[in-house]
Amino acid sequence: MKRVDAACLIQLAFTLISASARIPDPPSPRRLPEGTVVLRDLAYVSGGHERQKLDLYLPKQGNPLPLVINVHGGAFLAGDKSDGVPADFLNRGYAVASINYRLSGDAVFPAQIEDCKAAVRWLRANAQKYRLDPDRFAAWGASAGGHLSAMLGTTGSVKEFDVGEHVDVSSRVQAVVDYFGPTDFLQMDQHRVPGGQFHDPPDSPESRLIGGAIRKNRKKTAKANPITYLTKDTPPFLIVHGDSDPLVPHHQSELIADALKVSGVPVIFYTVKGGGHGGFQDPEVPRLTEEFLAKHLKPAR
């Protein structure tokens, strides 16, 4: 049997625990607004992988509804669509879709962004059926979910990742909420905090996602970076990141925030002072998120 490096196992465990420890419990019927319709395990790929499913939460009133698409975290190798569902937004007149996607143990990149875009296309193709407004979709995620949400935002016109069904339907989103997602894998180790996670080794989450050590697969790694695809047509971003994050360096959000500004894309970049990898207690984070989504998804009154 091949010997497993103990340090790699420890690092992997640290990644999984840190990525999931602060995720809220799945919303229970008691926590959902009265009259909420919950449709679980909707397949967005016909006859596809067991991970190619989503849950849809529909408030009692509203037609058509702006949609928040929740993309879970978990270092690309764990997590579930029941994680971190922003159920509070159902009270504010939004529908919420929470999606699963193939993990790095199921398939390597670009499977993950292909799945996210397939889910967006399916939701848009079925917008009338579920009372959704196809012109008001936002992607929201933390950590790996932040990365994939940012990818959805920057690859709206990149047809390479639109595969499978409903390819005649747009996979664009109109806004992105990116909580501490990586944006340029090859710059992560240069800016990690003391004692923070290493990302270059072949067993890192990023290397597992790519299917090989990121330093030895630079071209493919660049294709997995949201910052690669950024243009002036990229939708508005809200970025939130703790400046003491031990897993995803704060610099990752600095990079894309600066690039968005240079491209003339509206961006709000908020730093949580002393913040780690999520679990923020800063009241500005939910306030900024609510205001951002209201500005870019809610219709003018």
- Tell me the per-residue pLDDT of 155-203, one tens digit each, with 9 for 90 and over: 999 999 999 999 999 999 999 999 999 999 999 999 999 999 999 999 9
At which residue do the structure tokens 């699963």 appear?
100
Residue 30 in any domain: the answer is no
Provide the CATH number for the domain around residue 184: 3.40.50.1820
Spatial contact of 65 and 58, defined as CB atoms under 8 Å apart: yes
What are the residues facing 242 on neighbouring strands? 272
- Tell me the per-residue pLDDT of 31-74, one tens digit each, with 9 for 90 and over: 899 999 999 999 999 999 999 999 999 999 889 999 999 999 99
Q: Give me the DSSP letters along 50-115.
A: TT-EEEEEE-SS-SSEEEEEEE--STTTS--TTTT--GGGGGGT-EEEEE----TTT--TTHHHHH
Q: Which range has the worst mean pLDDT, 14-18, 165-169, 172-176, 272-276?
A: 14-18
Given this model, what pLDDT does residue 301 score? 47
Residue 28 in any domain: the answer is no
Given this model, what pLDDT does residue 22 score? 43
Cα–Cα nearest to 70, from 8, 14, 26: 26
Residue 105 in any domain: the answer is yes
Mean pLDDT of the chain: 92
Q: State how far Cα 221 lies from the chain centre.
A: 18
Q: What is the pTM assigned to this prediction?
A: 0.91
Residue 10 in any domain: the answer is yes
Sheet holding 132-142, edge to edge: 37-43, 53-58, 95-99, 65-71, 132-142, 175-179, 237-242, 267-272
Residue 29 in any domain: the answer is no
pLDDT of 14 over the 90 cut: no
Rounded to the nearest 10 degrees, what angle do helices 144-154 and 111-125 cross at?
A: 60
Given this model, what pLDDT does residue 30 score? 58
What are the residues facing 138 on neighbouring strands? 68, 175
pLDDT of 21 over the 50 cut: no
Residue 227 in any domain: the answer is yes
Check residue 132 and give left, alpha or beta (phi > 0: left; psi -120 to 50: alpha).
beta
Half-sphere exposure at residue 80, Cβ-oriented, CA atoms within 13 angstroms? 8
Question: CA–CA separation, 219 vs 233, rounded Å?
Answer: 24
Residue 88 in any domain: the answer is yes
Q: How many domains does the chain have?
A: 1
Residue 288 in any domain: the answer is yes
Which residue range(s) make up the domain with 208? 6-22+35-297
